Structure 1
């Protein structure tokens, strides 16, 4: 097979994206969604594999800044739009694109690459580890009581069209980004993503709504949702389909959740992406009635191990030598001395004896603090070479709040 990997040309986008749609089942996206991603596509970061005139593979990346433990925003390549046509599977097309892409990420001096996986089994061999999880909720609102924090009664709520509230919502979102690892600072244009509401995708629900929460004369929280009305033998049985919710303090958060759990003519609230440590789970009377399910969220790969580890802070003092295996990006392989604490860190090449041995995949899994190195060691994925080094490093890599990716890309 003779193929060519190269950067996409702007005029080729429609055909290139059409092949992506075909790989994901062949159902065309709504024009609103397709138009948004055409506008967001960074053509110079989008690649394809051509077999003659035909596109047989696609991959792209977005230029993000992501919060890491300690609150810093590090450059991160958001890997996206990855596909291989069924006619060209198992021929090295994906491997060729991943290698090309990671070399480009390195050339842009981005220490991290991140993605959400349609099939998690795919990306481990390229060094990506599961770095965060997300909770899915199905709350039986008629069987759950909520006790909001003090001050919730003083919060003013008002429902507005989402497009009219986008500036207020983005101001709130921007303030919460630094507080949770894994969150992305939204670049211009990305504020349109939470507003997508094609009528053909509503599945019987009404139009998207936005409720703003005001306290002290300013907007301090919001939720975007739609209602799917349904009726059963016992009466109204509708569903609140929650898209997103953010708040700057507990009282506002409680007021918003109380509103969402008491929408007229509904008995259920569903949401597919909340942090695993969502405070809601400690405000409800019966967590079993919240239908919590946990699944994988963000996958992360250090592209430059030294810069990635030096770019975050650590929950406890740490001075450890890591022997890193990375066959796919060999510039990372070898021993690195990580020294850091809550104020900052350094990570440099060393010839000193290693304290821990692990692959870059395990380093990516532990990076945001969701997966403990001790857990990976128990699974046989991390080897302790100096007694005590595992406990020291595992505590240091932890995060006070669970990492979370609030939206896909």
Structure 2
């Protein structure tokens, strides 16, 4: 079967998005969702496979900037809407799109590509690896209490319509984003995503609610959530479904969690996609009644290995020669000498020196944001130490004080 792979035109948009819709289960995208996707789309970064008049494969990319260790920000392609029609599986369409896409990202000078995988097993063969994790919670607020650090009682909480709170919430997000590796610094237009509230996405819950935390007249945090009322024979059993929660200081953060746990007629707070080191895990009185679960988060692909490793900061000085395998992007394969000084400034250049660590580009991608240690990967047999001591030094240098996290989808 012959298909044509081409860059999307505006005229192709509806057919292209309909292919995405079918691939993800056939549930119609709401009119609000279609309007938002159209507003955010970058057609010149979207690819489509066409079989005659029919779109049978899709792959899109957004122009992002992503926080990396050291408080730095790196250009990255945010890969999204990757699909192949069920009728055209196992014909090489996905591989062709990945090839074209990564070549284009390299030509654009972006050292990284990132994505959120619907099926994790798909992307490893293209050099992507899970570099962050996300924590899901289901807190039994009838039996769990939230600690109140000093200053919590001085935080004012104010309920505001989500659309009216947009600028205040974005200001908080912007102040925190660069400090957490893996977090996208939102481009114009993306500020609408957190307050998008189509009825079809509420899962039977209330319209989106928003509460701001304030100290000394300044907004210092926010939470958005849906309420899901429920009753049984013993009384109310409602659920608070948290969408976003951020705080600039411990008191504001705790005040928001305490508010959520005390909403009338509810006994459960559910949160999806919290960072692995979320402070709430230390604020709760009984973590066993929070049903803590972890899963993979953001996947990273080093498109230009040397440029990517030079762009991030390092926790400690390092000087190590890496032997890297990369079959899908062979320009990354070979030996690289990575050095970083006490301030975290790094160089990563080609070398003919003897290698000290051997690994694939997947392992480097997993460790890139500082949340996955080379030591752990070595214990799994995925990194080989060729010079005694090199593994411990490199693993520490690549680590991050703060666990990486991607707080929203794309």
Q: How does 1:64-83 map to 2 (within 5 A)?
A: 64-83=64-83
Q: How many angstroms apart in 1 are the aligned matches of 2:199 and 2:392?
A: 52
Q: How many angstroms apart in 2 are the aligned matches of 1:343 and 1:367?
A: 14
SS in structure 1 at match of 2:395: helix
SS in structure 2 at match of 1:288: helix
SS in structure 1 at match of 2:11: helix
SS in structure 1 at match of 2:409: coil
Structure 1 runs of 4+ with >6 Å offset: none
**2:394 equivalent in structure 1:** 393
**1:182 equivalent in structure 2:** 182
Per-residue Cα deviation, 1:364-388 (whole angstroms, up to 9, x for no partner): 0010111111111111111111111
- The question of 1:204 aligning with 2:204 is answered yes
SS in structure 2 at match of 1:368: coil
Q: What displacement does 1:87 show?
A: 1.2
**1:340 equivalent in structure 2:** 340
Q: What displacement does 1:53 show?
A: 2.3
**2:371 equivalent in structure 1:** 370
**1:284 equivalent in structure 2:** 284
Long gaps (5+) in structure 2: none
Q: How does 1:299-318 map to 2 (within 5 A)?
A: 299-318=299-318
2:221–2:248: 8 Å Cα contact kept in structure 1? yes
Q: How many angstroms apart in 2 are the aligned matches of 1:347 and 1:148?
A: 46
SS in structure 2 at match of 1:339: strand
Q: What displacement does 1:200 show?
A: 2.6
Per-residue Cα deviation, 1:324-376 (whole angstroms, up to 9, x for no partner): 11110111111111001443111111111111111111110010111111111
Q: TM-score, normalised by structure 1?
A: 0.99
Q: How many angstroms apart in 2 are the aligned matches of 1:367 and 1:328?
A: 18
Q: How many angstroms apart in 2 are the aligned matches of 1:233 and 1:179?
A: 47
Q: How many angstroms apart in 2 are the aligned matches of 1:216 and 1:355?
A: 54
2:213–2:220: 8 Å Cα contact kept in structure 1? yes
2:15–2:54: 8 Å Cα contact kept in structure 1? no
Deviates more, 1:76-85 or 1:24-33: 24-33
Q: How many angstroms apart in 2 are the aligned matches of 1:381 and 1:18?
A: 40
SS in structure 2 at match of 1:50: strand
**2:21 equivalent in structure 1:** 21
Per-residue Cα deviation, 1:238-261 (whole angstroms, up to 9, x for no partner): 000100001111111011111011
SS in structure 1 at match of 2:102: helix
Q: How many angstroms apart in 1 are the aligned matches of 2:175 and 2:200?
A: 33
Instruction: Tell me how many residue pairs correspond in the alignment.
Output: 409
**2:351 equivalent in structure 1:** 350
- The question of 1:220 aligning with 2:235 is answered no
Q: What displacement does 1:9 show?
A: 0.4
Q: How many angstroms apart in 2 are the aligned matches of 1:48 and 1:359?
A: 30
**1:381 equivalent in structure 2:** 382
Q: How many angstroms apart in 2 are the aligned matches of 1:50 and 1:381?
A: 38
Q: How many angstroms apart in 1 are the aligned matches of 2:409 and 2:198?
A: 17
Q: How many angstroms apart in 1 are the aligned matches of 2:52 and 2:207?
A: 45
Q: How many angstroms apart in 2 are the aligned matches of 1:377 and 1:277?
A: 23
**2:231 equivalent in structure 1:** 231
**1:11 equivalent in structure 2:** 11
2:110–2:303: 8 Å Cα contact kept in structure 1? yes
**1:134 equivalent in structure 2:** 134
Q: How many angstroms apart in 1 are the aligned matches of 2:290 and 2:29?
A: 31
SS in structure 2 at match of 1:26: coil
Q: How many angstroms apart in 2 are the aligned matches of 1:87 and 1:226?
A: 38
Per-residue Cα deviation, 1:147-173 (whole angstroms, up to 9, x for no partner): 121001111101011000000000000
Q: How many angstroms apart in 1 are the aligned matches of 2:271 and 2:368?
A: 26
SS in structure 2 at match of 1:164: coil
SS in structure 2 at match of 1:255: helix
SS in structure 1 at match of 2:39: helix
Long gaps (5+) in structure 1: none
**2:161 equivalent in structure 1:** 161
Q: How many angstroms apart in 2 are the aligned matches of 1:326 and 1:178?
A: 29
Q: How many angstroms apart in 1 are the aligned matches of 2:115 and 2:203?
A: 27
